[in-house]
Structure 1
Amino acid sequence: MKKVHYTNSYLLSPQHRISVNLIGAGGTGSQVLETLARIDSALFKLGHPGLFVTTFDADEVSESNIGRQLFSPADIGLNKSVCLTTRTNRFFGLDWEAVSEMYSGRSKTANITITCVDNVKSRIAVHKHLKAAKGIADIYETPLYWLDFGNTQNTGQVILGTIGKVKQPTKTEFSTQATLPTICDLFDLTQINEEDSGPSCSLADALKKQDLLINSTLAQLGSSLLWKLFREGRIEHHGVFLNLSTFKTNPILVGA
């Protein structure tokens, strides 16, 4: 029987906007922030309170970011999270927040955490922080889902996991899955030997590490998964593997 995961009921009918932490505002994060604003606009038109997004990034815009990330030459030297959030707020009429430092154990948790980071250490730290905060009393800061984006030069993956169990309906035609494994549940990240992912001096150098459209393609796939979580109230897939060289995508089935 096909397995599905039903969305946490709080996300579908909250009393206030759903809190979202977007960690990383670079190649993928800059693309994801734009799609989050579009999702917020659509949800609001459907009678939902929408989203409140806080973006975290300590980096400044450099010349090598122009073209692959959503920055212009006029943005060089500005903090990435402040630059993108200010632009998004003005364009969509929002009041989202920017934090010009990286997410840490002192940061407030949110209902949905989205990681667009380029190293294993950050993912492991986020995982520990979310697990420690899952019993928090304030529903606005209660972590419910973690959506992680990761990529190499031409491949990548998006994985949506739950922080603890999500209550599922007792009467349904499908077999239900209360928990969705996170990136840290599916893979032992401590065994990954990362290559240098430091700053690039030019766009040409940056493209040797990540292809021009890998980030935007992943951003669309992951944001579509998040949209289904809200719009349809259930999902049959909780992630996807992408190979941009062969134009192949392999969905990750719920319960697989």
Structure 2
Amino acid sequence: MSLSPSDYAVRTAPPPRADLARSAQIPSARRGLVSSRRMRAAVVTDDELLRHGLVHMMSRTDSVLLVGNMRPGAELVGRLQSLRPDLLVFGTDRDVTLPTLLADLHPRPKVVVVIDTDDPQTDPLDLIRAGADGLIDRRSTSHELLATLMRVAAGHNALDASCANAVITRLRAPVASPDDACTPVLTRREHEVLHLLTDGLDNRTIARNLFISEATVKFHLHNIMGKFGVHRRAALVSTALRGRVIGGR
């Protein structure tokens, strides 16, 4: 089929100026739509290598806007309250309990915890009960980590293969005795602080031995006392020395 010169002129004429204006606005609108969907994320971990790895991974995707990169400490809650992230990414060596932290954050962000599934002190069920929306093993690939973050950000729960296996293993483990069930669950850093406290060290000396600030020591002691249900250092030391946590030392 051939076109006459008049037909060709009609069919190839440029669209009206109003149509051109509308068509020119579409890419701009789409760019705004994409940017509005970027997930605001904050990374919180004592593990410097892990923190740098997470930050590097997030910097390579347009889906995530990193708004915070910090270590646990006394000012953590205040900083997160001002940043208002959509999602928190915690490292294995976190020094803050999720229930305590999330209680002070409104609106509540989604939480993904990066764990070491080979660490016997890491209980995936405890983390889920504490408020984790997703778990991923620290040896997972960047692609797996990003997929977990996006799934959690979309309102779902997510476990990678290693964490799913860890959850199943934990569920199949023998039920703890009543005495064990009453023992407070402490983080690695909380155990270190408590051990030094029962050795008679003051806050300044504990901070110097652990290479942390006195404010961080006070922060850990506050959390430990809350877990034991005591309000004074002497009561905490007495309870610990009776064997509930560090008996036999």
Which structure would you say has the larger RCO, counting Cα contacts within 8 Å and 6 or more residues apart?
1
The two structures share one fold, judged by TM-score above 0.5:
no
Greater share of residues in helix: 2
Greater share of residues in strand: 1
TM-score (norm. length: structure 2): 0.27
Structure with bigger gyration radius: 2
